[in-house]
Amino acid sequence: MLVSAKEMLDKAKAGHYAVGQFNINNLEWTKAILQTAEECKSPVILGVSEGAGKYMCGFKTVAAMVKAMDESLGITVPVAVHLDHGSYEGTKACIEAGFTSVMFDGSHYDIDENVAKTKELVELSHKNGISIEAEVGAIGGEEDGVVGMGECADPDECKMVADLGVDMLAAGIGNIHGVYPENWAGLSFETLDAIQQKTGDMPLVLHGGTGIPDDMIKKAISLGVSKINVNTECQLVFAEATRKYIEAGKDKEGKGFDPRKLLAPGFEAIKAKVKEKMELFGSVGKA
């Protein structure tokens, strides 16, 4: 059931659990995540970066694929198709293309410009019944060419952006996209606590979910995080399972080269990873 992300995140915030955003790259990814969400009776958010959108032939193709797949698989749990780290133009394009949720990442602008652009896009998305995420304080690391420094957000700036009526807020608390370096200092719970106190009921978003230890994830949820984004971890398990299949020579046995067979181990690996995360985030049975 395709819906905006607002209701599922408000429920998660009130119920002290988090909904996973899992990024999609193609049909297999989308099917694996949708089927797992249905099996786990969990709400889910399908994240689409601008780069992945382009790879999948544009936002219209993605919106149409998700809508059709959601119907064909008979998915009953709430599903949002959500733009991840959208530019100003990309956000507008997704609102038109039929996404049910968008993220406008204005964190690289100065705060006044971030506020002005976010405000305009909040009005536009709400007019179309779409939920919107904003960002304050860049997330570290690199994702699809979007590079952030990993700074901690200013709680007062978070309050300014939250007051614009956004539905969820991403705030940097030392989190980084991709695999964490050995010398990573960990999440700043002090910053998260200060942000949560300033922003009250606002569902907070934790980007860079890959590789954050389980105890830190649980603590972040207890301090108001209601949406957690995971991308790299699904890519890693997909690659590993596919490599094992090929290294074992299975693509050369019978019709093992058939893409439906070749991609099956990676598909199952994504399913297992998504289930593990839904259990950790506490969203199982919440649909």
Contact residues: ligand 13P, CB under 6 A? 23, 47, 84-85, 143, 177-178, 207-210, 229-233
* Residue 120: CB minimum distance to ligand 13P, A: 22
**H or E segment and range at residue 285:** none
CA distances from 89 to 59, 101, 117, 225, 284 (A): 12, 15, 11, 28, 35
Taking the mean position of all CA atoms in its chain, how far away is CA 125?
18
Residue 127 CB, nearest approach to ligand 13P (Å): 25
Contact (Cβ atoms closer than 8 angstroms) between residue 204 and residue 195: yes
Shortest spacing between CB 167 and ligand 13P, in angstroms: 16
Helix/strand/coil (H, E, C) string of 231-272?
A: CHHHHHHHHHHHHHHHHCCHHHCCCCCCHHHHCHHHHHHHHH
CB of 259 to ligand 13P, least distance (A): 25
Q: Which of 45, 2, 21, 12 is nearest to 203 (CA)?
A: 12
> Closest CB to ligand 13P among 230 and 274?
230
Return all residues near 47 (Cβ < 8 A) that are at least 6 apart.
21, 22, 23, 24, 82, 84, 229, 231
Nearer Cβ to ligand 13P, position 182 or 247? Answer: 182
Q: Which is nearer to ligand 13P, 11 or 85 (CB)?
A: 85
Active site residue 10: no
Q: How far is the CB of 210 from ligand 13P (least distance, A)?
A: 3
Q: Which residues pair with 21 in a beta bridge?
A: 45, 229
CB of 25 or CB of 199, closer to ligand 13P: 25
C-alpha to C-alpha distance for 92 and 90, rounded to whole angstroms = 5
Active-site choice (84, 105, 154, 167): 84
Total Cβ atoms within 10 A of residue 179: 14
> Please, what is the minimum distance in Å from the beta carbon of residue 252 to ligand 13P?
33
Read off φ and ψ for residue 247, nearest 5 degrees: -65, -25
Q: In angstroms, rounded to a whole number, what is the distance separating the alpha carbons of residues 55 and 48?
A: 10
How many CB atoms are located within 10 Å of the residue 54 CB?
Answer: 14
Q: Which is nearer to ligand 13P, 106 or 208 (CB)?
A: 208
Nearer to ligand 13P, 230 or 241 (CB): 230
Q: Which of 273, 283, 279 is nearest to 22 (CA)?
A: 273
Catalytic residues: 84
